[in-house]
């Protein structure tokens, strides 16, 4: 349809220009935020440039919703100010029908943003963080203290005072073995355990098992082998935001199997899916915002876009924090801002100029 093509031609150039502007802005913010660190460690210009280059996909991911919001609000506001939409409405074409190509564009960008985030943004962001740690001489340690790990569906429970990642050793280890009905079968204590590549070798272990109404100490049986991987005891340095959706699901399953907290990781995974719907949200907001401005369309569209984006991201941050603190469920923490702003957008469309 000629009208649909005309609407898209009004939006696309503005969208591309806004996207480039916001990507540049976000890149400069990241650069100046870390500039003093680069100067302190005399980071090479080539490495700094590579860090900025690797950060561009993430900037695109952040900038895409607000650029879409601005471009649609400005394009429709401009059409309103020129009375072009008034002519369209008086000819019997409602706002929802004029908005069809925009909604299709939003659906396409939602699908694109999810796979773009999963396949391009995450690998480049991980590489950017690794390069930043290298040029800033930042080291991460996998050693951990006060570790509790459940394995084999809770049949074995490891209590470790300290895990030394460099030595691959467990210090002050207690292994609790439970029966299938959940009752205690035995307790194994050892001062230290070393990883030999396939299993843990316990130093002078003692086993306590139930004999009648008392616990009896005995030497550990040769048939017992403990092969839980050292990574299970390491301090978690894995960021769910650096994992693909499939990898994040597997990681959460590993955490659950080990008896470790999964709320934070599950919230981040749900937020990944919820964030992909952001283009649809901003379309509803922008379609209604465009009709409010009769003068200074460019300035007011930019201002309203920034305010709407800030409100959405602040709401998302607050609900995510509440979910990670277990005040609400991970699903509610990730999806509540989406549903709230979808409802808000629908209400605004109801009162938009038509």
Q: Which of 185, 211, 232 is the last residue of a domain?
A: 232
Choice among 27-31, 43-47, 65-69 with the minimum mean pLDDT: 65-69
In the predicted structure, residue 202 carries a pLDDT above the cut 80:
yes
The reply to whether 208 and 345 lie within a common domain is no
Beta-carbon neighbour count of residue 130 at 10 Å? 11
Beta-carbon neighbour count of residue 74 at 10 Å? 27
The reply to whether 201 and 312 lie within a common domain is no
The reply to whether 123 and 215 lie within a common domain is no
Q: Which of 212, 232, 252 is the last residue of a domain?
A: 232
| Average pLDDT score over the chain | 82
d(CA 227, CA 213): 31
Q: What is the mean pLDDT of residues 80-97?
A: 77
The reply to whether 27 and 124 lie within a common domain is yes
Q: What is the pLDDT of residue 93?
A: 78
Chain centroid offset of residue 337 CA: 15
The reply to whether 227 and 272 lie within a common domain is no
Q: What is the pLDDT of residue 84?
A: 80
Q: Which of 232, 249, 274 is the last residue of a domain?
A: 232
Q: What is the mean pLDDT of residues 164-169?
A: 84
Judge residue 250's burial from the number of C-beta atoms within 10 Å of its C-beta, 0-12 exposed, 13-18 middle, 19 or more buried: exposed
Q: What is the mean pLDDT of residues 235-245?
A: 73
Q: What is the mean pLDDT of residues 74-103?
A: 78
- This prediction's pTM: 0.71
Tell me whether residue 258 is in a domain: no
Judge residue 204's burial from the number of C-beta atoms within 10 Å of its C-beta, 0-12 exposed, 13-18 middle, 19 or more buried: exposed
Q: For 131-157, what is each residue's pLDDT tens digit?
A: 888 888 776 667 787 788 877 777 788
Tell me whether residue 246 is in a domain: no
Q: What is the pLDDT of residue 102?
A: 85
Q: What is the pLDDT of residue 298?
A: 64
Per-residue DSSP letter, 138: -
d(CA 111, CA 241): 18
d(CA 317, CA 240): 16
Q: What is the mean pLDDT of residues 36-63?
A: 90
Tell me whether residue 241 is in a domain: no
Question: Which residue, chain included where needed, has tokens 């549903």?
Answer: 339
In the predicted structure, residue 6 carries a pLDDT above the cut 80:
yes
Q: 145 forms bridges with which residues in the sheet? A: 162
**How many contiguous H segments (helices) and E segments (strands) does the chain have?**
11, 7
Q: What is the mean pLDDT of residues 17-36?
A: 92
Q: What is the mean pLDDT of residues 322-344?
A: 90
Q: For 316-326, what is each residue's pLDDT tens digit?
A: 899 999 998 88
Among 136, 132, 128, smallest CA distance to 39 is for: 136
Q: What is the pLDDT of residue 239?
A: 72
8 A C-beta contact, residue 57 and residue 121? yes
The reply to whether 203 and 267 lie within a common domain is no
pLDDT band of 20, cuts 50, 70, 90: very high
8 A C-beta contact, residue 264 and residue 325? no
The CA R_g of the chain, rounded to the nearest whole Å, is 28
d(CA 344, CA 333): 18
The reply to whether 88 and 183 lie within a common domain is no
With b for 16 or more beta-carbon neighbours within 10 A and e for fewer, the 22-59 pattern comes to bbeebbeebeeebeeebeeeebeeeebebbbebbbbbb
d(CA 76, CA 289): 8
Tell me whether residue 316 is in a domain: yes
Q: Report percent pLDDT > 70 for the chain.
A: 88
Q: What is the pLDDT of residue 21?
A: 93
The reply to whether 190 and 88 lie within a common domain is no
In the predicted structure, residue 290 carries a pLDDT above the cut 80:
no
Q: What is the mean pLDDT of residues 280-309?
A: 70
Q: What is the pLDDT of residue 322?
A: 93
The domain tally of the chain equals 2
Tell me whether residue 249 is in a domain: no
Tell me whether residue 205 is in a domain: yes
d(CA 44, CA 313): 34
Q: For 184-197, what is each residue's pLDDT tens digit?
A: 778 888 888 898 88
Tell me whether residue 60 is in a domain: yes
The reply to whether 26 and 121 lie within a common domain is yes
Residue 160: φ, ψ to 5° = -125, 130
Choice among 237-246, 248-257, 317-326 with the minimum mean pLDDT: 237-246
Tell me whether residue 253 is in a domain: no
Domain that holds residue 154: 144-232
**230-233 contacts: CB < 8 A, separation 24 or more?**
230/163, 230/165, 230/168, 230/195, 232/149, 232/151, 232/258, 233/144, 233/147, 233/149, 233/158, 233/160, 233/163, 233/170
pLDDT band of 279, cuts 50, 70, 90: confident
d(CA 303, CA 38): 33
The reply to whether 21 and 83 lie within a common domain is yes
The reply to whether 81 and 149 lie within a common domain is no
8 A C-beta contact, residue 283 and residue 64? no
pLDDT band of 4, cuts 50, 70, 90: confident
The reply to whether 122 and 148 lie within a common domain is no
């Amino acid at each position: 349809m000629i009208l649909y093509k005309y609407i898209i031609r009004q939006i696309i150039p503005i969208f591309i220009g806004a996207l480039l502007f916001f990507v540049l802005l976000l890149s400069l913010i990241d650069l100046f935020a870390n500039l003093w660190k680069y100067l302190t460690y005399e980071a090479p210009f080539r490495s700094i440039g590579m860090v900025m280059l690797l950060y561009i996909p993430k900037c695109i991911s952040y900038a895409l919703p607000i650029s879409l919001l601005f471009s649609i609000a400005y394009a429709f506001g401009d059409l309103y100010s020129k009375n072009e939409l008034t002519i369209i409405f008086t000819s019997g074409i409602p706002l929802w029908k004029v908005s069809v190509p925009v909604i299709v564009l939003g659906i396409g960008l939602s699908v694109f943003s999810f796979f773009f985030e999963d396949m391009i943004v995450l690998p480049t962001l991980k590489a950017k963080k690794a390069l930043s740690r290298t040029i800033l001489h930042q080291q991460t340690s996998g050693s951990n203290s006060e570790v509790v790990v459940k394995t084999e569906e809770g049949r074995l429970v490891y209590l470790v005072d300290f895990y030394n990642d460099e030595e691959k050793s467990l210090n002050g280890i207690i292994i609790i073995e439970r029966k299938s009905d959940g009752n205690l079968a035995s307790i194994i204590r050892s001062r230290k355990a070393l990883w030999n590549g396939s299993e843990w070798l316990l130093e002078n272990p003692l086993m306590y098992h139930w004999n009648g109404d008392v616990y009896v100490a005995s030497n550990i049986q040769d048939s017992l082998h403990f092969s839980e991987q050292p990574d299970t005891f390491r301090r978690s340095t894995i960021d769910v935001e650096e994992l693909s959706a499939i990898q994040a699901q597997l990681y959460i399953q590993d955490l659950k199997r080990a008896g470790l907290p999964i709320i934070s990781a599950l919230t981040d995974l749900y937020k990944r899916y919820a964030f992909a719907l952001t283009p649809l949200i901003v379309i509803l907001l922008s379609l209604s915002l465009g009709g409010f401005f009769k003068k200074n369309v460019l300035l007011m569209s930019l201002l309203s876009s920034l305010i709407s984006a800030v409100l959405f991201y602040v709401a998302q941050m607050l609900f995510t924090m509440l979910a990670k603190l277990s005040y609400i469920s991970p699903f509610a923490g990730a999806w509540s801002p989406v549903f709230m702003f979808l409802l808000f957008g629908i209400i605004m469309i109801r009162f938009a100029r038509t």
